[in-house]
Structure 1
């Protein structure tokens, strides 16, 4: 268990993890702290909104509705991956849940999933999840077919990892609402064990350390088409590309061009290239061979 992060540290943790954040007016003080405990916290809970549209979903989660005043979460995760911060304190998102789940999350001692919950809001043995969990509502209809875009899943992963990293938790501190209450089915459309795997993988990386740049792909060159190709007087963009490379190597013997049709100017230019490589006699007759062709490194024709 840990003390909840103050607003500034919460924001800093998200930004350090690469989360794109929108701070909504009053989010630092908009909370339900006067209606129950806020902390110590043990984890993060993920929900779906059963709504569509960013502005509409954010409004509902910020204001709440009859019988359940807002804020209904700490942040709304939109389909584009932007996280809209609504609260830094107690929020009405988790309700009552199973004490065995709370214990399993606190100790992080479960397998792929926490124990199956058998309690819910209002049941005799339920415990208050609003006091113990950060909550994030993810915009989704919750019908099992509304898509979860990669950017949204990435944001769920980053938000969860940011809080786990800040508190020294592992990914088993992140659960879905359905894993907390036997009345709930969210988030529906992706599996929480897989998301925990993603979060744990991210926790093994240092977000402050830039990723090494991707290795550039090696350049692709035109393969040697064979001497007979040239002796057939071809017309091909390969001939034009060859001529440009010969000019770049200072071996061009062109008055006009080069062009796609093999010509005597191409042969003379290629002979100059062969001589530059140290060939002589019949080995420098201007008809391309494999060794000289590979050395010319003609870019692959796209």
Structure 2
């Protein structure tokens, strides 16, 4: 058992592990602490979101939806590997789970995986008080790819928590290992994930495997491309719909409230169209003046 890390401490741990962090709004104080305890914490749970699009996913896990208020996790791990921190404290992510699994996680006493859970959200013990929660952007259909950058970020996040608390990788479980009525995360093995976390914990924080230098030319592997397998819409989301900027001083933002890259493009296009129209009007006015001057000259 452990006291939850402070917001400042988890930021330091994540960044030391090489995680790219995006801080979303008032995440440090955004929580459900008024509904119950958070802590002592015993481990970390990995989820998938069943969503597509980083910006909309961040909004959903931060604010929640009808019947389930946010935050729905502590951080959302996007396709591009960035971790969007949306809350810190009690979050609606784990729900009810199997007390036998909790005991096994506390003792780190299981083999490759905990005993399959027989209790779920309706009749299990409160997991929101006992676990960190990490939602991962994925449709959860077993077909949506897990880009290398995203999977590596999941490993780094879990290793950062384990390292900070002195836990082994067995303190990391999937939602499907906690609750009998859950299937997430789907698309990779939690046993494999724990093995990768355990390997990282053998090295200093921030460690990265040394790439093998090929002796002969090879065809690049799609697994090395963090955008491999993404649709055009997903690539657009990753590139244009995530970052936000501070609006230029004095610039009206009524039509561009978020100042995300996507809306900046629309704003620039709008200005360009208006500038082009103004140029046409100037040309027309110049032509009228030129004709008028010609008439005056001929009149002399």
**Other-structure match for 1:191:** 189
5+ residue gaps in structure 1? 219-302
Highest RCO, 1 vs 2 (Cα 8 Å, sep ≥ 6)? 2
**Other-structure match for 1:2:** 2
2:126 equivalent to 1:128:
yes
**Other-structure match for 2:106:** 106
**Other-structure match for 1:150:** 148
What is the DSSP-based 3-state SS (H/G/I as helix, E as strand, rest coil) of the residue aligned with 1:195?
helix
**Other-structure match for 2:58:** 58
Deviation, 1:103, is 0.3
Deviation, 1:211, is 6.6
Whether the 8 Å contact between 2:160 and 2:205 is mirrored in structure 1 is no
Q: Which has the higher helix share?
A: 2
5+ residue gaps in structure 2? 216-300
Matched residues, number:
216
In structure 2, do the counterparts of structure 1 residues 80 and 110 end up closer, same or farther at CA, with 3 Å as the change threshold?
same
In the aligned structure 2, how far is the partner of 1:212 from the partner of 1:45? 25
- Aligned counterpart for 1:206 among listed residues 204, 211, 227: 204
What is the DSSP-based 3-state SS (H/G/I as helix, E as strand, rest coil) of the residue aligned with 2:203?
coil
Output one character per residue of 1:261-302: Cα deviation in whole Å (capped at 9) or x when no partner. Answer: xxxxxxxxxxxxxxxxxxxxxxxxxxxxxxxxxxxxxxxxxx
In structure 2, do the counterparts of structure 1 residues 211 and 150 end up closer, same or farther at CA, with 3 Å as the change threshold?
closer
Deviation, 1:73, is 0.2
In the aligned structure 2, how far is the partner of 1:216 from the partner of 1:71? 43
In the aligned structure 2, how far is the partner of 1:215 from the partner of 1:6? 38
In the aligned structure 1, how far is the partner of 2:127 from the partner of 2:18? 27
- The Cα RMSD (Å) is 1.8
Output one character per residue of 1:135-186: Cα deviation in whole Å (capped at 9) or x when no partner. Answer: 0000000001000001110000000000000000000000000000000000
In the aligned structure 1, how far is the partner of 2:161 from the partner of 2:89? 14
Whether the 8 Å contact between 2:31 and 2:88 is mirrored in structure 1 is yes
What is the DSSP-based 3-state SS (H/G/I as helix, E as strand, rest coil) of the residue aligned with 1:102?
helix
**Other-structure match for 1:43:** 43
In the aligned structure 1, how far is the partner of 2:133 from the partner of 2:205? 22
2:17 equivalent to 1:17:
yes
Output one character per residue of 1:225-266: Cα deviation in whole Å (capped at 9) or x when no partner. Answer: xxxxxxxxxxxxxxxxxxxxxxxxxxxxxxxxxxxxxxxxxx
In the aligned structure 2, how far is the partner of 1:216 from the partner of 1:119? 49
Deviation, 1:214, is 7.2
Deviation, 1:205, is 0.3
Aligned positions of 1:208-227 closer than 5 A: none
What is the DSSP-based 3-state SS (H/G/I as helix, E as strand, rest coil) of the residue aligned with 1:135?
strand
Output one character per residue of 1:51-104: Cα deviation in whole Å (capped at 9) or x when no partner. Answer: 000001000000001111000000000000000001111100000000000000
**Other-structure match for 1:116:** 116
In the aligned structure 2, how far is the partner of 1:146 from the partner of 1:88? 28
In the aligned structure 2, how far is the partner of 1:213 from the partner of 1:48? 29
**4+ aligned runs moved over 4 Å, structure 1:** 210-218
**Other-structure match for 2:79:** 79
Larger CA Rg, structure 1 vs 2: 1
Deviation, 1:122, is 1.6
What is the DSSP-based 3-state SS (H/G/I as helix, E as strand, rest coil) of the residue aligned with 1:28?
helix
**Other-structure match for 1:175:** 173
In the aligned structure 1, how far is the partner of 2:8 from the partner of 2:109? 31
